[in-house]
Amino acid sequence: MTADDTGLRELRASVREFLEAKSPEEAVRKLMESEPRFDPAVWAQAADQLRLPGLVIPEEYGGDGFGLVELGVVLEEMGRALLCAPFFATVVLAAQALLASGDREACARHLPGIAAGGTTAALAVTEDSGSWDPALISARAVPDGDGGWKLTGRKSFVIDGTTADLVLVVARTVAGPSLFAVEREASGLAAEPMETLDATRAMARLTFDAVPATLVGSDGAGGRTMAKVLDVASVALAAEQSGGARRCLEMSTEHALTRHQFGRPIGAFQAVKHKCADMLVQVELAEAASLEAARLADEGSAEFPVAAAVAHACCSRAYMFAAMENIQVHGGIGFTWEHPAHLYFRRAKSSQLLFGGPAVYNERLLDRLGI
């Protein structure tokens, strides 16, 4: 299903209105210091009123079957508001991993619960290196003799890993990296929260000690699944980043208009004006790159993998730039704990490095361009 421009505007307006009411700065600040780091009541409302968890889940699994363009609109708004919610882990990472696995049975078992907002989920790929390279996966799974599997190892940087009802884990079997489903209550699973640079996105370290697990998709197909998820997830993240970057630009512009120094608004000084213009350039590029990648994905275009790599690199840089310059435009005010600028700075840096960072995404782009 695809929304037209009017539909996208309406979607944006309703999500923005919801987030202004449910995720103002005070709420974000309160949640980032609580456990869990989201408000279950708000999450339930997002599901019941806006049907957000089911937005991009196919209709056959109880969702509304929209594409990445619609998902991008929602994530831009969530990025602006720094919403603390299990949306990214559940809808973007875990649900996309289920879909990418091609395992219809696993999809039918888990996706309706996710779409309805009842189930939250996480995707555990990275280990202590933080790398998404399938070759670096050391967690192992062995058959338990009864058609199930036992999983052993450790995962780090697992977003919403302490709260997710369902954990999808990439572990190595004899056939290679493979995807497994683990229930929250499974015996031998321990989760501890990690201290994070960006407190608005909870991360956990999970340890698996012979944890019962179910294979999702084919044995050994985990590498391919990860690659597909990474493309979708980096485009989704790009939208979240461009929303955050746009918000930083707005904060700077507002401040440059109202803050007076030497008898003039600081925005009248060319040095400040050009800083804001540079931010605008970055934000415009970021929005275009993220939207174009989403559009190519929804069209099933062969150009999507290149566009996904561009969106990831472009939006990562744009957000980091906007978050840094935002503090600079605000001067000393921007360096205080009370000012929200640091929350965006933290989110920007941690998002930039979430899937490996510039060294990794630069090479991914060159690889896709055949260089």
Q: Which residue among 7, 214, 265, 350 contacts another protein (CB under 8 A)?
A: 265
Binding mask 310-329 for another protein (x = CB under 8 A): x--xx--x------------
Stretch that binds another protein, among 44-52, 73-81, 130-138, 309-317 (CB under 8 A): 309-317
Stretch that binds another protein, among 92-100, 139-147, 197-205, 275-283 (CB under 8 A): 275-283
Q: What is the Cα Rg of the chain in Å?
A: 21
CA distance 33 to 325: 26
**Other beta carbons within 10 Å of 246:** 22
Q: Which residue among 55, 95, 306, 354 contacts another protein (CB under 8 A)?
A: 306
Instruction: Decide: helix, strand or coil at residue 181.
Output: strand
Cis peptide before 340 (omega within 30 of 0): no
Q: Are 176 and 220 in contact (CB under 8 A)?
A: yes
Quote the least distance from Cβ 254 to another protein, whole Å: 10
Write the single-letter amino acid at 71.
L
Q: Are 151 and 139 in contact (CB under 8 A)?
A: yes
Q: Per CB under 8 A, does 340 bind another protein?
A: no
CA distances for 345 relative to 2, 197, 254, 331, 335, angstroms: 33, 10, 18, 14, 10
Beta bridge partners of 327: none
Q: Per CB under 8 A, does 64 bind another protein?
A: no
Q: Per CB under 8 A, does 270 bind another protein?
A: yes
Q: Per CB under 8 A, does 231 bind another protein?
A: no
Q: Are 196 and 203 in contact (CB under 8 A)?
A: yes
Q: Per CB under 8 A, does 247 bind another protein?
A: no
Q: How far is CA 332 from the centre of its chain?
A: 30
Q: Which is nearer to another protein, 333 or 369 (CB)?
A: 369
Q: Per CB under 8 A, does 230 bind another protein?
A: no
CA distance 257 to 153: 54
- Using the structure block, give the residue that is written with the tokens 């450790």: 154
Quote the least distance from Cβ 310 to another protein, whole Å: 5
Stated as kind and residue range, the H or E segment containing 247 is helix 222-258
CA distances for 211 relative to 156, 175, 214, 226, angstroms: 16, 19, 10, 21
Q: Which residue among 131, 280, 298, 350 contacts another protein (CB under 8 A)?
A: 280
Q: Per CB under 8 A, does 274 bind another protein?
A: yes
Stretch that binds another protein, among 24-32, 139-147, 227-235, 249-257 (CB under 8 A): 249-257
Stretch that binds another protein, among 101-109, 152-160, 341-349, 362-370 (CB under 8 A): 362-370
Residues that bind another protein (CB under 8 A): 5, 249, 253, 256-257, 264-265, 267-268, 270, 272-274, 276-278, 280-281, 284-286, 288-289, 291-293, 306-307, 310, 313-314, 317, 358-359, 361-363, 365-366, 369-371
